[in-house]
A and B are shown apart, each in its own frame.
Chain A
Amino acid sequence: NAGVTQTPKFRVLKTGQSMTLLCAQDMNHEYMYWYRQDPGMGLRLIHYSVGEGTTAKGEVPDGYNVSRLKKQNFLLGLESAAPSQTSVYFCASSYGTTFDNEQFFGPGTRLTVL
């Protein structure tokens, strides 16, 4: 049971390049989330999914797209990377959204956009 995994762990992009971050969970969770963490800030929600084939915008969705084609995977895409997207990206998943359904987090991806 690997929990929540993220690929890659580190990445450096040039402005304008594109990339996809992969989040995978093996806990059969319905809900998946993408957050970003900037220096001196807490995590902020980018996009989330309440089940396979669904996605929704969070607090800071601009410049990102997501897809949830398979229940266990949640992809975060940057079509044209900008320096403002330099951040650490965390994926999380949970079985439900009630109090006793903990969100489990992945180890994070550190992305630098030059």
Chain B
Amino acid sequence: AQTVTQSQPEMSVQEAETVTLSCTYDTSENNYYLFWYKQPPSRQMILVIRQEAYKQQNATENRFSVNFQKAAKSFSLKISDSQLGDTAMYFCAFMKGGSQGNLIFGKGTKLSVKP
């Protein structure tokens, strides 16, 4: 069975600075996808960024980028130029390729961006 671990329950960062959220996962699969979701106080789950396991190049979406280390089974999220609107819970998630879309989530990291 696959598991996703987020070892940082809470983090804080000053506005305009950079922060990195950690995620590790355990799987014996070779074909899988990894995701970071944001959940602001409104509770709405929003996809931030995604990565295919067979792609070595790290995904980037504007201020968000990942450091994907396949051998280490690590998938960290870097947020550059942090903004107050980035304050949210962030969830790392795993999906096995060829599955029915079943996402496996970590427990989340609560990020607070301070002015």
Q: Which residues of A contact B (CB under 8 A)?
A: 31, 33, 35, 40-45, 48, 50, 56, 58-59, 88, 90, 92, 94, 96-97, 99, 101-103, 105, 107-108
Looking at B13-21, B69-77, B98-106, the stretch in contact with chain A turns out to be: B98-106
Give 3 closest A-B pairs by Cβ, nearest first: A42-B105, A97-B101, A105-B45
Please name all residues of chain A whose beta carbon is closer than 8 Å to the beta carbon of B104 when the two chains form the complex: 42, 59
Q: Which residues of B contact A (CB under 8 A)?
A: 4, 9, 33, 42-47, 50, 52, 91, 93, 95, 97-108
Docked CA distance A21–B33 (Å):
29
Please name all residues of chain B whose beta carbon is closer than 8 Å to the beta carbon of A88 when the two chains form the complex: 43
Docked CA distance A45–B20 (Å):
27
Please name all residues of chain B whose beta carbon is closer than 8 Å to the beta carbon of A102 when the two chains form the complex: 47, 50
Contact across chains for B93 and A42 when beta carbons are under 8 A apart: yes
Docked CA distance A42–B110 (Å):
12
Contact across chains for A58 and B102 when beta carbons are under 8 A apart: yes
Known contacts A41-B107, A42-B91, A90-B45, then 8 further A-B pairs from the complex at CB < 8 Å, ordered by chain A residue: A33-B102, A33-B103, A41-B108, A43-B103, A44-B105, A48-B101, A56-B100, A58-B102
